Amino acid sequence: MQVETSRLPRHILITGGAGFIGSNFVHYWCEQYPGDRVVVLDALTYAGNRATVAPLETTANLRFVQGDICDRPLIDALLQEEAIDTVAHLAAESHVDRSILGPGAFVQTNMVGTFTLLESFRQHWMAQGKPEHVRFLHVSTDEVYGSLGADDPSFNETTPYAPNSPYSASKAGSDHLARAYFHTYGMPTLITNCSNNYGPYHFPEKLIPLMCINILLGKPLPVYGDGQNVRDWLYVRDHCRALDLVIHKAIPGETYNVGGNNEAKNIDLVHLLCGLMDELAPELPVRPANQLITFVQDRPGHDRRYAIDATKIRAELGWTPAETVESGLRKTVQWYLDNRQWWQPLLSPQYQAYYESVYAVASN
């Protein structure tokens, strides 16, 4: 369902559009607004997969560009050539484990890259006479707020930032830049901070796809620490609808938290996935799948709990998530069962080496 029944076509640049949330957003936007010009920019690092958006490249309105958001001449050229009036900035290094192993790439992409985009877009916006319909949406994470205790209230838009990993610190820095460009220059920026996303096209290093794929392969299911860490889970399609509403309805300068209202302990989530796999995949190498659960040494600085208060976006923009964690997980598991040809090529020697570097620790 479209957000607006009558609207002028947009020329939108979607950064990170071959990544997980980005590619889902590209598919969503092209379905909702087939008359819009869509430019997808992605560096195609390990987590970017051009095959995810390749079917859309046959349409005249979509252009894929392989490139780095830190490449200022490229950004300048794209904004001008394509008359971009909307940026959905989803490009980011996003995996906490990788940020612990190599934080430099996170600072470069998440902070320097965001600065490069903001500065280029500011000059482009000014050269166009500061049109009112222009928007720059910066998509961020709830991890910038730090960790919650079991009984603490959920994060809201006024929660102080307290990032605990190189990843979340770099995202916090990029949030501050986006906010500063609105307050200093009046540039029409918007910020969203979302909880953990899941759904189709998710790179297999993250918890839910990792568990799905390992169950299908009969491999151990590594669970950090005691498995009691709590996350709020947001189905990626629900997130895409939220971003759409923010672009079309939000007032520039605003920040919105986007959460699935689905808090779950990691260990409970893994048991849910095991049960769904037992039900939906009759030829599993190990059954019941929960026999594969293996507790491993916790990662450094592992935040205990995240929870999002999405009252503001519900009250101001009318957004609510459509999926519960149970319904969303069922759809996700079925997608991984039906799309082996998408995820199997990602299990490369490089991925296997990374996997071993993270999980090759003694079981508790």
Which one of 145, 167, 181, 198 is the catalytic residue? 167
Which one of 42, 143, 232, 238 is the catalytic residue? 143
Q: Which two tokens stand for residue 135?
A: 């928007």
Question: To which H or E segment does residue 234 belong?
Answer: strand 230-235
96: pLDDT confidence band, cut at 50, 70 and 90?
confident
Please provide the average confidence, as pLDDT, over all residues in the chain: 93
Q: Are 135 and 86 in contact (CB under 8 A)?
A: yes
Give the global pTM: 0.94
360: pLDDT confidence band, cut at 50, 70 and 90?
low
Q: Using one digit for the tens of pLDDT, what is the confidence trace for 125-178? A: 999 999 999 999 999 999 999 999 989 999 999 999 999 989 999 999 999 999
Q: Using one digit for the tens of pLDDT, what is the confidence trace for 103-140? A: 898 999 999 999 999 999 999 999 999 999 999 999 99
Phi, psi of 168 (to 5 degrees): -65, -30
67 by Cβ neighbours in 10 Å (0-12 / 13-18 / 19+) ranks as middle
Domains and CATH numbers, the chain: 11-201+235-261+302-323 (3.40.50.720)
Measured distance CA(272)–CA(173) in Å, rounded: 35
Residue 46 confidence (pLDDT) above 70? yes
Which one of 68, 93, 142, 244 is the catalytic residue? 142
Specify the pLDDT at position 275.
97
Residue-wise DSSP of 98-146:
HHHH-THHHIIIIIIIHHHHHHHHHHHHHHTT--TT-EEEEEEEGGGG-
Give residues with Cβ within 8 angstroms of 180, minimum separation 6.
none
Coil, strand or helix: which one is 53?
coil
Give residues with Cβ within 8 angstroms of 110, minimum separation 6.
92, 93, 167, 170, 171, 173, 174
The dihedral over CA atoms of 49, 87, 256, 331, expressed in degrees to the nearest 10, equals -30
Q: Are 38 and 12 in contact (CB under 8 A)?
A: yes
Question: To which H or E segment does residue 22 belong?
Answer: helix 20-32
Give residues with Cβ within 8 angstroms of 105, minimum separation 6.
93, 98
Nearest to 193, CA basis, from 160, 231, 238, 155? 155
Measured distance CA(344)–CA(129) in Å, rounded: 48
Q: Which two tokens stand for residue 156?
A: 């809201």
Residue 357 or 287, more confident:
287
Coil, strand or helix: which one is 9?
coil
The partner residues of 64 in beta bridges, in order of sequence, read 40
Q: Are 319 and 242 in contact (CB under 8 A)?
A: yes
Q: Which two tokens stand for residue 201?
A: 């096209």
Measured distance CA(196)–CA(161) in Å, rounded: 17
328 by Cβ neighbours in 10 Å (0-12 / 13-18 / 19+) ranks as buried
Annotate 29-47 with b (16+ C-beta within 10 A) or e (fewer). bbeebeebbbbbbbbeeeb
CB neighbours (10 Å) of residue 70?
Answer: 18
6: pLDDT confidence band, cut at 50, 70 and 90?
low
Q: Does the annotation mark 143 as catalytic? A: yes
Q: Using one digit for the tens of pLDDT, what is the confidence trace for 318-328? A: 999 999 999 99
Q: Which two tokens stand for residue 91?
A: 């490009």
CA angle 266, 270, 273 (to 5 degrees): 140
Residue 63 confidence (pLDDT) above 50? yes
Q: Does the annotation mark 323 as catalytic? A: no
Q: Does the annotation mark 167 as catalytic? A: yes
Specify the pLDDT at position 5.
46
